[in-house]
Amino acid sequence: MASNYTESVEQQAASTKIQIYPTANSGISSFWKDKYEKDAKKYWDIFYKRHQDKFFKDRHYLDKEWGRHFTGLGGKVLLEVGCGAGNTIFPLRATYPDVFVHACDFSQRAITLVKSHREYSETCINAFVCDLTSDDLSKQIPSLSVDIVTMIFVLSAVSPEKMSLALQNIRKVLKPNGIVLFRDYATGDLAQERFTCKDQKISENFYVRGDGTRAFYFSEECLRQLFEENGFVTEEIGIHCKQVENRSRELVMNRRWVQSVFRVSKTENGLDLNNSALNGESIESEVKETVVEVPLSVEFDMSEDVAAQMFGISPSNDEVMDVSFGELNFKIKVLSKENQHTCKSTGLMLWESARLMASILAENPSITAGKRVLELGCGCSGVCSMIAAQSAHLVVATDGDDSALDLLTQNVSENLTPKNLSKLLVRTLYWGNQEHINAIKKENELGFEVIIGTDVTYISEAILPLFATAAELLSDHTTSEELSEPALILCHVLRRVDEPSILSAASQFGFRLVDRWPNSQSIMSSWFSKINSKDEIPSTALSILYFQRVILDSSTDLVIKD
């Protein structure tokens, strides 16, 4: 490295561990809070479109926990709010065939699933779409006609500031002695603990999942106060705990939920309820159980990602994209679109800059033919690296994110022929990490003749380590042919880091800009002549910067070749 580089820059590049995605943990922005509220119904529709009726198991535990409330003379009228695909109502109907069920849900797709169930009949089930916070239940159900309301993992999906509206709506249709059977997430649950290390907090105890649906975690005090302020008395309440150990993965996981029974307050109905528990005395319970092995029959209601950790179930957060570049076709596994908005890793999706660069490489194989190619921050798709592998001597695809590298390895192995697969290496590389840089140098002592980066310049702290890493790994080989000069090619959308800042950082590590696109005057002007389809050139305002190294005399620091 030239002697005129400052010591502070060298130290920063060598010691700083840089990720090209934000690491702040300050919660989501106001814009996204509003969006999750506005589009809540859409996210639940997507959830049921994806999972149909396969996600939650039928809740047979309801009879065991609350069977005494369903027995008695004559059939009772039940309202299941947030009925989903019917995992509560159909098991209850099977056990208590005299029960008439009103079933409502926020999602139209969920109601469609209920009505398509083989056991659905309008003579015993009334299913309809309803937003508890804005739609009047009494327009669908006669007032004061419901014996029991079941709320199973549903209130947690409602914004805390709107929970009172939902409870007041429910109270309109409950009989004077009607009850609410409640089960939902409790504070301290494993899922909430996992949220604490992610930027997914909306407000206190309220979080957004990766698929856009939301979850609130109740404390016993909070839940009791909420119901009692809205015309109910607490008959039973308790935090239930289950510790689950997965021996094969050496994981111990704590599941916590709150289970309660609330009854319409006598002060609201003028009734004399001769039950001490109904006059304000609550029954406290604390259930603790250790389960060493988890049989498949164990029933939990949990967020998707927790299910994956506990039982090894795939979270199904991935989707497969069919992409084509010239005559090359790939099936690329990426993070599904409905999960991308809350994902911290930018490498789990296919960016437009990668599409553009892949199109260029596919139509201009001479860029990489017979050369040693390095891709920086390639993410999970690896399309540029896989196209380069068709003609290059060696390709090393790198990223600093473990999740991206896992998907990248799958995509490479599933899309390349054995011959091309043998030329492509997948490696971990944090920019500026000398251990990682040295490991890659051992793979290729001659350095790389082409280094590619797509959308890797939008975090300001990462710019210097990016160029420092490229400077160490770019080959010193030069020829009289300009296209054979070792080059660093960056394709990106300009975001928070402006182009002058990028060029300034490049110059500190001996790079000079020899061409740019649009407005190419030399090297890149011929690349686009072969790309005529509008589908191959994204409409997004992209930029490509083509750098070569300035060759310096180490004794004088004078430029020998400009």
- CA-nearest of 133, 119, 51, 47 to 89 is 119
Q: Residue 551: its pLDDT value, please?
A: 61
With DSSP H G I counted as helix, E B as strand and the rest as coil, what are the percentages for the chain, rounded to 5?
A: 35, 25, 40
Angle CA(383)–CA(385)–CA(387) in degrees, nearest 5?
70
- 16 burial via Cβ count (<10 Å: 0-12, 13-18, 19+): middle
Q: How confident is the model at residue 302 (pLDDT cuts 50, 70, 90)?
A: very low
Average pLDDT, the chain: 78
pTM attached to this predicted model: 0.49
- Across residues 217-234, what is the average pLDDT? 95
Q: Residue 312: its pLDDT value, please?
A: 36
212: left (phi over 0), alpha (psi -120 to 50) or beta: left
The predicted-structure confidence for 326-342, as pLDDT tens digits, reads as follows 889 999 887 654 444 33
The predicted-structure confidence for 360-388, as pLDDT tens digits, reads as follows 999 999 999 999 999 999 988 899 999 99
- In the chain, residues under CATH classification 3.40.50.150 are 7-22+316-561, 30-185+205-239+257-284
β-bridge mates for residue 397, sequence order: 375, 426
- Percentage of the chain surpassing pLDDT 70? 72
- CATH architecture observed for domain 30-185+205-239+257-284: 3-Layer(aba) Sandwich (3.40)
Distance CA 314, CA 391 (A): 36
8 Å CB contact between 495 and 486:
no
Within 13 A of 557's CA, how many CA atoms are on the CB side?
8
In the CATH scheme, what is the code of domain 7-22+316-561?
A: 3.40.50.150
Q: How confident is the model at residue 250 (pLDDT cuts 50, 70, 90)?
A: low
pLDDT at 545 over 80: yes
SS3 290: strand
SS3 68: helix
Q: Residue 32: its pLDDT value, please?
A: 82
The predicted-structure confidence for 214-223, as pLDDT tens digits, reads as follows 999 999 999 9
- Across residues 398-406, what is the average pLDDT? 88
- 539 burial via Cβ count (<10 Å: 0-12, 13-18, 19+): exposed
Q: Residue 191: its pLDDT value, please?
A: 80
Q: Residue 58: its pLDDT value, please?
A: 66
- Across residues 178-202, what is the average pLDDT? 84
- CA-nearest of 90, 98, 96 to 58 is 90
Within 13 A of 85's CA, how many CA atoms are on the CB side?
18
